[in-house]
Amino acid sequence: MLYCEKCRMMAENGRCDSCKGKGPLRQPLDNDPVLLAKTDQVSAAMLEGILQDEGVPFLKEGRMGAGMTTWAGGMLEEYSFYVPYGVLNQAAELAKVVFDGAPDPLAEDALEDEDMEELEELTEQEEEDMPF
């Protein structure tokens, strides 16, 4: 897989989807920063903790910058995580824990679950009313 210097992303199929092939592509070096994930502040904090625990070096960049974060409230911030190409696979495995893992039991998701069940019931009723 080739590396897009402009976007700091891996370009699949020989073309960078992010800049539509405008950036220069080359073979990645072990210390090239590669975009691992873009995420909100909550997931960013989790990911940061996991990467630190595992000793994976990374760069974290906020989209809006520090001053803007304070003004807009941290929850609106989006963070981009970059890791050296050499540890990309390892970092991607760790990131799965954050993005595919179980929901945080401390989060207020009990209410959301109820909403989901209601939604499912509504959907089922609608299906029964279908004439066919």
7 touches Zn ion (CB under 5 A): yes
Burial 75-113 (b: 16+ CB within 10 A, else e): eebebbbbbbbebbeebeebbeebeeeeeeeeeeeeeee
Cβ proximity to Zn ion: between 16 and 91 the closer is 16
Cβ proximity to Zn ion: between 25 and 45 the closer is 25
Instruction: Tell me the window of 2-10, 29-37, 57-65, 74-82 that interacts with Zn ion (CB under 5 A).
Output: 2-10
Instruction: Identify whether the C-beta of residue 84 lies closer than 8 Å to the C-beta of residue 70.
Output: no
23 touches Zn ion (CB under 5 A): yes
Cβ proximity to Zn ion: between 26 and 63 the closer is 26
Q: What is the DSSP string of 76-96?
A: G-EEEEEEEGGGHHHHHHHHH
18 touches Zn ion (CB under 5 A): yes
Instruction: Identify whether the C-beta of residue 59 lies closer than 8 Å to the C-beta of residue 81.
Output: yes
Instruction: Tell me the window of 9-17, 48-56, 88-96, 122-130 that interacts with Zn ion (CB under 5 A).
Output: 9-17
Q: Report the C-alpha gap between 130 and 61 in whole angstroms.
A: 50
Q: State the number of binding residues for Zn ion (CB under 5 A).
A: 7
Among 2, 15, 19, 86, binds Zn ion (CB under 5 A): 19
**Which residues lie near Zn ion (CB under 5 A)?**
4, 6-7, 16, 18-19, 23
